[in-house]
Chain A
Amino acid sequence: MSSESAHAIDQAIDQAPGHVVHADPEAGKTGMWLFLFTELLLFGGLFLIYGVYRSMHEGAFHHAAAELNVAMGVTNTIVLLTSSLTMVMAVSSLQRNQAKRSLGFLTATLALSATFLVIKYFEWSAKHHHGIFPGMDHLHELPHGEGLFFNLYFMMTGLHGVHVVIGMIVMLVVLAKIRSGAVHGGSYGILEYTGLYWHLVDLIWIFLLPLFYLTT
């Protein structure tokens, strides 16, 4: 038997009704958590840089933070917290074999993530309009501490934004897989791991809010 036909048979067995897929959910979850720890240390390092510079330039950090739009930051927090709720509901729905409901919640999560990015875009455009953007002369002319604050702001919210974009791409893939039936109530690991990742993205934002928007 060629390896190709053997593979086809394997696939047919895997997709047969009532067949238990030989996956180890605990191993998958362990791997996902290990990855999340590296993310924690990545952002942890940036929080550390923020902490040290803030202790050295306390006045400048407070002054610069006043420039940020608190309403936009808080709105985005509410949007992300809500997206975490819809994400966890998408996972629990699929675990209860309610694929349609799960798809609905996943679509809502995607819509909320897009809303987050749109608000972020308007926020950054407003900063750019005032000459506060990495590489612009005005940013370089600001007092040293304020320049540090804004560079950290763009670096940390930017890296967080990249995580949001990656999360959305993964969500789209999972969405397609649920639609095609490859991910279902008996095999939902990929959705569960996407959920874990998304909650971490939410978790990091929760710390970014007081550090940048509420320091005045």
Chain B
Amino acid sequence: MSNSNAAAAKPHVLPDGLFVMVWVALLVLTAITVGGSVFFPGKIGILVAMIVTPIKAALILMYFMHLKYEKAGFVAMFLVAVGILSIFIGLTFFDYLLR
């Protein structure tokens, strides 16, 4: 049998405790984002959200979506997709902000 079948027979399963920890971290980070916007409305609140939200996204991608433990090819594919999106957004903003 091929390697892929062996992989199917013995999947890489993360412990439940790790998932619960990630979930708690996500809730704490949500509280920080909300707290930032309530107690420091305006620039600081937005800055907090802009820093914390990508961290939350990374936690979901790495642990819940298992990306941290996939082969490098998956991560490369993901970075290409995010890279294309960044180029889209970056170039559009260059256009609109420098008009």
Contacts and interface: CB of A to CB of B under 8 A. Distances in A.
Contacts of B64: 84-85, 87-88, 195, 199, 202
Classify the secondary structure of B's interface with A.
helix
Contacts of B74: 29-30, 33
Given A44-B88, A51-B89, A78 B77 contact: no
B85 A41 contact: yes
A95 B9 CA distance: 9
Interface in B1-52: 1, 4-5, 7-9, 11, 13-14, 16, 19-20, 22-23, 26-27, 30, 33-34, 36-38, 41, 45-46, 49-50
Interface string A66-82: 00001000100110011
Contact of B77 (A33, A85, A195, A215): A33
Nearest to B73: A30
A55 B96 contact: yes
A85 B23 contact: yes
A209 B56 CA distance: 12
B72 interface: no
Give the interface size class of chain A: 35 or more
Contacts of A74: 30, 34
A49 to B, nearest CB: 9
B8 A214 contact: no
Given A44-B89, A209-B33, A214 B77 contact: no
A82 B13 contact: no
Contacts of B4: 24-26
Nearest to A202: B60
A122 interface: no
B14 A206 contact: no
Interface string A37-77: 10011001101100110011000000000000010001001
Nearest to B74: A33
A47 B88 CA distance: 11
B60 A203 contact: yes
- List of 3 A-B pairs having minimum Cβ-Cβ separation, nearest first: A210-B49, A214-B37, A37-B81
Given A51-B89, A52-B92, A55-B93, 17 more contacts: A29-B70, A34-B77, A37-B77, A37-B81, A41-B88, A44-B85, A48-B88, A74-B34, A78-B27, A92-B19, A186-B8, A195-B64, A199-B61, A203-B61, A206-B60, A214-B37, A214-B49
Interface of B: 1, 4-5, 7-9, 11, 13-14, 16, 19-20, 22-23, 26-27, 30, 33-34, 36-38, 41, 45-46, 49-50, 53, 56-57, 60-61, 63-65, 70-71, 73-74, 77-78, 81-82, 84-85, 88-89, 92-93, 96-97
